[in-house]
Structure 1
Amino acid sequence: MHGSTGFRLERARDVGCVALVLMLAGCAAPATAPRTGWRPPPAAPTSTAQIIVAEVDGEVVTREEWQRALALDRAMSALAGQSAPTPEASLQRLVNERLVLREARAAGLAATPDQATARLRALLRRWNKDEASFDAALAREGVPQSDALDAIRRLLVVEAYLARLGSEADAQQWMAERRRRAKVGLYASFSAPPTPSVLAAALPTPPATPLVLASAGQATASPTPALAPQPVVDERTPPPAPMAPPENPAPDFTLLDLDGQPVRLSQFRGQVVVLNFWASWCPACRAEARDFGDFAQRYRGRGLVVVGVNLREDAATARAFAEANGMDYPLLRDADGAVSRMYGVVGIPTTIFIDATGGMRARHVGVLNADQLADYIAPLLADLLPTEQPAPDFTLPREDGRMVSLRDYRGRQPVVLLFYRSAGCGSCQQQLRAMQTEYDRFRARGAEVLAIAVQGVTQASVVRQLGQLEFPVLADESHAVSEAFGVFNRLGDNLAAPAVFIIDAKGRIIWSHIGRDANDYPAPSDILSRVP
Structure 2
Amino acid sequence: MTLQEKLDAFKADFEAGKPPYNVPPSVIETMHRATAELIASGAAERARKAGDKAPVFMLNDPDGNPVSSVDLLKKGPLVLSFYRGVWCPYCNMELQALEAAKPEFDKLGASLVAISPQTAPNSRKSVRQNNLTFPILSDAKGTVAAAFGLRFDLPDYLVELYQSLKNDLPSFNDDPSWTLPMPARYVIGQDGIILYAEVNPDYTRRPEPEDMLPALREAAASRAA
TM class by smaller structure: 0.5 to 0.7
Alignment of 1:396 with 2:81, yes or no, is: no
**Distance in 1, Cα, partners of 2:206 & 2:152:** 16
The aligned residue for residue 517 of structure 1 is 202
- Residues 457-478 of structure 1: CA distance to partner in whole angstroms, max 9, x if unpaired? 1111110111110000000121
Letter in 2 for 1:512: A
Specify the SS of the correspondent of 1:530.
helix
Alignment of 1:470 with 2:136, yes or no, is: no
**How many correspondences in the alignment?**
156
1:49-60 matches, cutoff 5 A? none
**Distance in 2, Cα, partners of 1:398 & 1:523:** 25
Contact 2:196 2:212 in 1 (8 A): no
Letter in 2 for 1:458: P
Question: How far off is 1:409 after superposition?
Answer: 2.3
- Alignment equivalent of 1:412, drawn from 57, 67, 75: 75
Question: How far off is 1:387 after superposition?
Answer: 4.2
- Alignment equivalent of 2:97, drawn from 423, 430, 434: 434
Contact 1:416 1:450 in 2 (8 A): yes
Q: Output the TM-score relative to the length of structure 1.
A: 0.28
Letter in 2 for 1:454: P
**Distance in 2, Cα, partners of 1:498 & 1:194:** 16
**Distance in 1, Cα, partners of 2:189 & 2:132:** 23
Q: Output the TM-score relative to the length of structure 2.
A: 0.64
The aligned residue for residue 214 of structure 2 is 529
**Distance in 2, Cα, partners of 1:390 & 1:471:** 24
1:1-400 matches, cutoff 5 A? 378-379=43-44, 381-382=46-47, 385-400=48-63
Greater relative CO (CA pairs within 8 A, separation 6+): 2
Specify the SS of the correspondent of 1:427.
helix
Question: How far off is 1:194 after superposition?
Answer: 5.3
**Distance in 2, Cα, partners of 1:469 & 1:502:** 19
- Alignment equivalent of 1:494, drawn from 163, 179, 184: 179
**Distance in 1, Cα, partners of 2:60 & 2:99:** 20
Specify the SS of the correspondent of 2:145.
helix
Question: How far off is 1:401 after superposition?
Answer: 1.3
Unaligned runs of 5+ in 2: 1-39, 156-177, 220-225
- Residues 291-327 of structure 1: CA distance to partner in whole angstroms, max 9, x if unpaired? xxxxxxxxxxxxxxxxxxxxxxxxxxxxxxxxxxxxx
Q: 1:387 to 1:429 in 2, by over 3 A?
A: closer
Unaligned runs of 5+ in 1: 1-192, 196-377
The aligned residue for residue 459 of structure 1 is 122
Contact 1:399 1:464 in 2 (8 A): no
Question: How far off is 1:509 after superposition?
Answer: 0.8
**Distance in 2, Cα, partners of 1:513 & 1:387:** 9
**Distance in 1, Cα, partners of 2:154 & 2:215:** 26
Percent identity between matched residues is 31
The aligned residue for residue 106 of structure 2 is 443
Contact 1:422 1:495 in 2 (8 A): no
Question: How far off is 1:379 after superposition?
Answer: 4.3
Question: Which structure has greater helix proportion?
Answer: 2
Specify the SS of the correspondent of 1:404.
strand
C-alpha RMSD of matched pairs (Å): 1.9
The aligned residue for residue 209 of structure 1 is none
**Distance in 2, Cα, partners of 1:473 & 1:407:** 17
**Distance in 2, Cα, partners of 1:490 & 1:431:** 23
Letter in 2 for 1:502: V
- Residues 351-371 of structure 1: CA distance to partner in whole angstroms, max 9, x if unpaired? xxxxxxxxxxxxxxxxxxxxx
Contact 1:498 1:519 in 2 (8 A): no
Q: 1:432 to 1:194 in 2, by over 3 A?
A: closer
**Distance in 2, Cα, partners of 1:387 & 1:425:** 26
Q: 1:491 to 1:445 in 2, by over 3 A?
A: farther
Q: Which runs of 4+ in 1 moved over 3 A?
A: 378-381, 490-493
Whichever of the two has the greater Rg, that structure is 1
Letter in 2 for 1:415: L
Contact 1:381 1:485 in 2 (8 A): no
